[in-house]
């Protein structure tokens, strides 16, 4: 008996039409979500300020200027226990970058070898590589790190019985000691030469590309660039009068003096991350190469390309397109996993930050530094990789 | 009409051709698969040399020279170190694992109460096995029992504090039990939350989309250990004064948040792979958003990303070992703790314990990945 038209408001729309209007509904739910989020945020903020006031903790980043008072085993920049907390955290950050960058290089090399090995026609090689991948992929990275740490440390001798290696290197349970290069006057010429070489190589590459596009004649860019990158720095080194001497480690009764030392924690973390991540990279590589359609290889053979040229010119460029995005995320995983150095006492960002947090009680500030650093690394890498990926991506009509 | 007279009709069958060389004999197989080219032969020789160099020593260390029984560390020490083994001996100390096995499983859970985790484990298998076998009916009820009823029941049985169940505080929990609880809760929470986050990230509503993107990217951008630290030190700060939050619960929250963000990205991949026609078809049938998602989109999307989901589960299972860094004793944590036990300090204890823990982790993860491969084949409808 009720007619909808009768109940309609003066503007001619019923209440129901508002409830079922997607635009109105969307707005309602968004306002609701925003209100809940803001309320929870305010509640957390309120609780936190109250808790901090109760425990007499001052918020803010002034603590970074305070004296750290703890030692760090391995540092790329001068650091003593009198340095500030800020410097300690920075030392940790540099160590994170160091272990991540050398780990990424090694993991990529091992991963490529294992990934190609799994595709090998040779049954034994393929099976061995499969075993490697299945073992490392299915155990926690933390366990791998512990294993290398206990294995490396447990097997190495005391300082007194250091193993003497060629080039005045010593190996013991405090790490690997090796001659420290000391650069003399004029050494600045070498990095300048390297920079010039990079610029020259880029220019040659551009010129070669333009010439090939215009005339079809190829140029051996790779060899030229290699010669430039090796030759120019050596030339610079010779011109500057070879300004390089070495500070050799000398075995004393209780300790080694002089030289540089790589801590066993670093070696353990580096090897564990490399071997662990390599198993994932291997799978990425294998998937990428298998992802290139068989027709491409067959078409290349039909055109008369040699097998090596087929791989180099047809398969690899297409496989790279598939490989690069997951490879990037593996690199990021390795960087993030380097934070597990804290478990074996390698002073990376989380470890030095954790010590700072324990000493000062500035939990929120330290966690915010961690978040900021790791997020910047992640975002920078993704931006770079998105750019690279866009450059490599298939250009279709 | 002229009849064609055929000159020759073969009456007997051709003799069968010999089988391809690589199937004919073991020798043929070896030639085809191991010695096809000189390069292959060289690789084979290198691989065999590598195997001969490593495998016998490994087998000796793990099995033939290993100590299987013993009451304390003297069984695994050489004479010079004060034990019973000949000097220069090295091998696995399985006696250590044997003696500490129950501790590795249950942590410091009271010995008289250990039937309770066993009961929970039995219940868990009883509910899990039928859900894993595709042919068993009543999947919906089974999932409800496993993911909603079981966790509540398990919590009361394990924690206790009422009639026959004596109270066992969470700091006493440990070992494989904690690893399994953390990963089970992580899995049970991350799948629904991850689906919601993925839907939110693809939503038309800017506020909801932004919130989901920020959550997912922040969590995915940082290492798990910082998320755990955050849960450990910051959650108590966020709550009103006087509220306390159990350490175990903090770790659970950290792990669940972390897994949800990763799961969201996996599910989003599946959502993006569904052709637009499916959405439009559902819309044209007059289905509501949730009907469309539940009946049309999700079944297809989830099926597509089963490998990704299982990989996330495996990653989560492995990552639970990180809680040992924030002072909890999961399987890895309790094994580590025992390295400093005065009764079992030997040079070979750490390696033995780590190999044992690694093997347990490997068994679970490898099992999961095999099951995922099986499910993929089972659900494959042949069209994409």
Q: What is the pLDDT of residues B336-384, one digit of tens each?
A: 888 888 888 888 888 899 999 999 999 999 999 999 888 888 887 765 4
Top residue of B207, B243, B353 to mutate, by most chain A CBs within 10 Å, is B207
CA A345 to mean position of chain CA atoms: 20
Chain B partners within 8 Å of A33 (Cβ): 207-208, 211
Ramachandran category for residue A168: left, alpha or beta (phi over 0 → left; psi -120 to 50 → alpha): left
Chain B partners within 8 Å of A150 (Cβ): 350-351, 354
List the alpha helices (DSSP H) in A119-220.
123-137, 141-155, 189-215
What is the predicted pLDDT for the residue at B383? 54
Q: Give the nearest chain A residue to B346 (CA atoms).
A: A154
The model's confidence at residue A306, banded by pLDDT at 50, 70 and 90, is: confident
Q: Give the nearest chain B residue to A361 (CA atoms).
A: B233
What is the predicted pLDDT for the residue at B264? 93
Q: What is the mean pLDDT of residues A111-124?
A: 90
The verdict on a CB contact (< 8 Å) between A124 and B44 is yes
Chain B partners within 8 Å of A40 (Cβ): none
Percent of chain B with pLDDT over 70: 97
Would the pLDDT of A391 be above 80? no
Chain A partners within 8 Å of B217 (Cβ): 375, 378
Chain A partners within 8 Å of B350 (Cβ): 146, 150, 154
Mind telling me how many Å the CA of B233 is from chain A's nearest CA? 7
The verdict on a CB contact (< 8 Å) between B237 and A47 is yes
The verdict on a CB contact (< 8 Å) between A47 and B220 is no
Q: Are strands A175-178 and A169-172 parallel, antiparallel or unpaired?
A: antiparallel
Mind telling me how many Å the CA of A83 is from chain B's nearest CA? 24
Task: Report CA dihedral (B190, B196, B200, B202) to the nearest 10 degrees.
Answer: 90
Q: What is the mean pLDDT of residues B304-320?
A: 89
Write the DSSP string, A46-58: HHHHHHHHHTTPP
Residue A329: closest CA among A378, A293, A395, A256: A378
Q: Which residues between 1 and 30 in chain A have a beta carbon less than 8 angstroms from any beta carbon of chain B?
A: 26, 29-30
Top residue of B229, B231, B290, B333 to mutate, by most chain A CBs within 10 Å, is B229
Closest partner residue to A370 among B47, B222, B322, by Cβ? B222
Top residue of A44, A56, A143, A354 to mutate, by most chain B CBs within 10 Å, is A143
**Given CA atoms B248, B252, B253, B258 in this order, what sign does their dihedral have?**
positive
The verdict on a CB contact (< 8 Å) between A26 and B205 is yes
Alpha-carbon gap, residue A365 to B248, rounded angstroms:
24
Mind telling me how many Å the CA of B322 is from chain A's nearest CA? 7
Mind telling me how many Å the CA of B128 is from chain A's nearest CA? 21
Tell me which residue has tokens 């492995």: B318
Q: How many residues does chain A have?
A: 397
Report helix angle A123-137 to A264-290, nearest 10.
120
Residues 6+ apart with CB under 8 A from A22: none
Alpha-carbon gap, residue B356 to B344, rounded angstroms:
15
The verdict on a CB contact (< 8 Å) between A29 and B44 is no
- A380 and chain B: CB distance < 8 Å anywhere? no
Task: Report CA dihedral (B233, A96, A326, A321) to the nearest 10 degrees.
Answer: 150
Higher pLDDT, residue A376 or B34: A376
Number of A/B CB contacts below 8 angstroms equals 152
The verdict on a CB contact (< 8 Å) between A379 and B221 is yes
Mind telling me how many Å the CA of A202 is from chain B's nearest CA? 33
Give the burial class of B243: count Cβ atoms within 10 A of its Cβ; 0-12 exposed, 13-18 middle, 19 or more buried. exposed
The first and second tokens of residue B40, run together, are 């292959």
Residue A143: closest CA among A276, A263, A265, A274: A276
What is the predicted pLDDT for the residue at B236? 84
Q: Which residues between 133 and 152 in chain A have a beta carbon less than 8 angstroms from any beta carbon of chain B?
A: 134-135, 137-143, 146-147, 150-151
Residue A263: closest CA among A179, A173, A144: A173
Q: pLDDT per residue over B88-125, tens digit each?
A: 788 888 988 888 898 899 888 888 888 888 889 999 99
Residue B114: closest CA among B187, B174, B62: B174
Would the pLDDT of A254 be above 50? yes
ipTM above 0.95, yes or no: no
Mind telling me how many Å the CA of B301 is from chain A's nearest CA? 20
- What are the φ and ψ backbone dihedral angles of B80, each rounded to 5 degrees? -65, -30
Query: A95 in helix, strand or coil?
Result: helix
Higher pLDDT, residue B1 or B36: B36
**Given CA atoms A103, A109, A114, A115 in this order, what sign does their dihedral have?**
positive
| CB B317, CB A142: distance < 8 Å | no
| CB B178, CB B107: distance < 8 Å | yes
Please give the DSSP secondary-structure letter assigned to residue B322.
Answer: G
Ramachandran category for residue B15: left, alpha or beta (phi over 0 → left; psi -120 to 50 → alpha): beta
Q: Give the nearest chain B residue to A337 (CA atoms).
A: B223
Q: What is the mean pLDDT of residues A180-195?
A: 79
Would the pLDDT of A51 be above 50? yes
The model's confidence at residue A188, banded by pLDDT at 50, 70 and 90, is: confident
Q: What is the mean pLDDT of residues B26-48?
A: 85
Please give the DSSP secondary-structure letter assigned to residue B76.
Answer: G
Closest partner residue to A26 among B204, B321, B361, by Cβ? B204
Residues 6+ apart with CB under 8 A from A269: A99, A103, A145, A148, A149, A338, A340, A341, A344, A346
Alpha-carbon gap, residue B331 to B115, rounded angstroms:
19
Q: How many Cβ atoms sit within 10 Å of the Cβ of residue A230?
A: 12
Would the pLDDT of A1 be above 50? no
- A155 and chain B: CB distance < 8 Å anywhere? no
Chain B partners within 8 Å of A138 (Cβ): 314, 318, 361-362, 365-366, 369
Q: What is the mean pLDDT of residues B44-64?
A: 91
Instruction: Print burial letters for B259-277: b (CB count within 10 Å at least 16), e (below 16).
Output: bbbbbbbbbbebbeeeeee
Q: Give the nearest chain B residue to A374 (CA atoms).
A: B222
Write the DSSP string, B93-158: BHHHHHHHHHHHHHBT--GGGTHHHHHHHHHHHHHHHHHHSTT-S-HHHHHHIIIIIHHHHHHHHH
Q: What is the mean pLDDT of residues B296-322?
A: 89
What is the predicted pLDDT for the residue at A2? 45
Mind telling me how many Å the CA of B195 is from chain A's nearest CA? 18
Closest partner residue to A122 among B34, B336, B365, by Cβ? B34
What is the predicted pLDDT for the residue at B360? 94
Q: pLDDT per residue over A6-20, tens digit each?
A: 444 555 567 777 777
- A99 and chain B: CB distance < 8 Å anywhere? no
Higher pLDDT, residue A167 or A98: A98
| Diameter over CA atoms, chain A | 106
Beta bridge mates, A172: A175
Mind telling me how many Å the CA of A336 is from chain B's nearest CA? 5
Would the pLDDT of B248 be above 70? yes
Would the pLDDT of A259 be above 80? no
Alpha-carbon gap, residue B257 to B260, rounded angstroms:
5
């Amino acid at each position: 008996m009720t007619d909808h038209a009768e109940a309609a408001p003066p503007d001619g729309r019923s209440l129901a039409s508002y409830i079922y209007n997607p635009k109105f509904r969307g707005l309602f739910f968004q306002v609701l979500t925003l209100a809940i989020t803001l309320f929870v945020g305010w509640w957390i903020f309120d609780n936190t300020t109250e808790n901090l006031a109760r425990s007499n903790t001052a918020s803010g980043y002034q603590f970074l200027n305070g004296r750290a008072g703890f030692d760090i085993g391995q540092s790329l920049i001068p650091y003593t226990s009198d340095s500030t907390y800020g410097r300690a955290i920075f030392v940790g950050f540099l160590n994170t970058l160091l272990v991540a960058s050398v780990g990424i290089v090694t993991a990529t090399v091992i991963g490529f070898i294992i990934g190609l090995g799994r595709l090998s026609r040779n049954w034994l090689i393929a099976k061995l590589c499969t075993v490697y991948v299945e073992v490392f992929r299915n155990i926690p990275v933390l366990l791998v790190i512990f294993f290398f740490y206990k294995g490396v440390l447990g097997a190495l001798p005391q300082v007194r019985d250091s193993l003497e290696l060629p080039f005045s290197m010593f190996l013991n349970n405090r790490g690997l000691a090796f001659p420290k290069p000391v650069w003399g006057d004029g050494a600045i010429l070498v990095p300048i030469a390297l920079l010039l070489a990079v610029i020259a190589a880029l220019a040659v590459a551009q010129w070669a590309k333009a010439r090939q596009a215009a005339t079809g004649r190829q140029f051996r860019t790779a060899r030229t660039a290699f010669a430039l990158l090796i030759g120019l720095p050596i030339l610079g080194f010779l011109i500057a009068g070879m300004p390089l001497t070495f500070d050799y480690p000398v075995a004393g009764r209780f300790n080694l003096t002089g030289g540089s030392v790589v801590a066993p924690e670093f070696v353990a973390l580096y090897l564990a991350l490399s071997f662990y991540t390599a198993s994932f990279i291997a799978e990425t590589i294998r998937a990428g190469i298998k992802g290139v359609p068989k027709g491409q290889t067959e078409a290349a053979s039909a055109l008369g390309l040699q097998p090596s040229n087929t791989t180099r010119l047809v398969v690899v460029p297409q496989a790279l397109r598939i490989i690069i995005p997951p490879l990037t995320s593996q690199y990021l995983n390795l960087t993030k996993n380097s934070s597990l150095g804290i478990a074996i006492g390698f002073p990376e960002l989380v470890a030095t930050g954790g010590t700072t947090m324990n000493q000062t009680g500035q939990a929120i500030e330290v966690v915010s530094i961690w978040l900021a650093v790791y997020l910047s690394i992640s975002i920078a890498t993704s931006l770079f990789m998105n750019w690279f990926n866009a450059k490599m991506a298939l250009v279709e009509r | 009409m002229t009849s064609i007279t055929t000159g020759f009709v073969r009456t007997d069958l051709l003799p069968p051709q010999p089988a391809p060389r690589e199937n004919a004999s073991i020798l043929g197989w070896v030639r085809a698969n191991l010695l096809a080219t000189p390069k292959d032969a060289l690789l084979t020789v290198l691989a065999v040399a590598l195997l001969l160099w490593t495998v016998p020593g490994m087998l000796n260390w793990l099995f033939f020279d290993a100590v299987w029984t013993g009451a304390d560390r003297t069984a695994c020490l050489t004479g010079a170190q004060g034990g019973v083994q000949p000097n220069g001996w090295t091998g696995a100390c399985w006696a250590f694992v044997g003696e500490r096995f129950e501790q590795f499983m249950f942590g410091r859970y009271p010995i008289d109460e250990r039937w309770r985790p066993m009961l929970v484990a039995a219940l868990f298998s009883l509910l899990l096995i039928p859900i894993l076998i595709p042919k068993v009916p009543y999947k919906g009820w089974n999932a409800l029992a496993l993911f909603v009823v079981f966790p509540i029941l398990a919590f009361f049985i394990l924690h206790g504090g009422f009639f026959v169940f004596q109270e066992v505080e969470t700091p006493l929990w440990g070992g494989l039990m904690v690893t399994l609880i953390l990963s089970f809760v992580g899995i049970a929470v991350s799948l629904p939350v991850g689906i919601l986050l993925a839907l939110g990230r693809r939503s038309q509503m800017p506020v909801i989309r932004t919130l989901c993107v920020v959550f997912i990217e922040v969590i995915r951008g940082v290492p798990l250990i910082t998320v755990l630290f955050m849960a450990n030190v910051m959650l108590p700060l966020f709550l009103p004064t006087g509220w306390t939050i159990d350490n175990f619960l903090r770790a659970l929250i950290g792990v669940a948040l972390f897994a949800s963000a990763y799961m969201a990205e996996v599910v989003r991949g599946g959502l993006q792979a569904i052709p637009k026609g499916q959405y439009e078809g559902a819309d044209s049938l007059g289905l509501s958003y949730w009907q469309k998602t539940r009946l049309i989109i999700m079944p297809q999307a989830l099926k597509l990303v089963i490998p990704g989901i299982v990989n996330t589960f495996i990653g989560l299972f492995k990552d639970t070992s990180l809680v040992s860094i924030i002072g909890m004793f999961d399987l890895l944590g309790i094994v580590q703790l025992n390295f400093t036990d005065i009764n079992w300090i030997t040079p070979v204890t750490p390696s033995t314990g780590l190999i044992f823990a690694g093997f347990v982790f490997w068994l679970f993860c490898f099992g999961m990945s095999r099951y995922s491969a099986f499910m993929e084949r089972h659900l494959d409808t042949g069209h994409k």
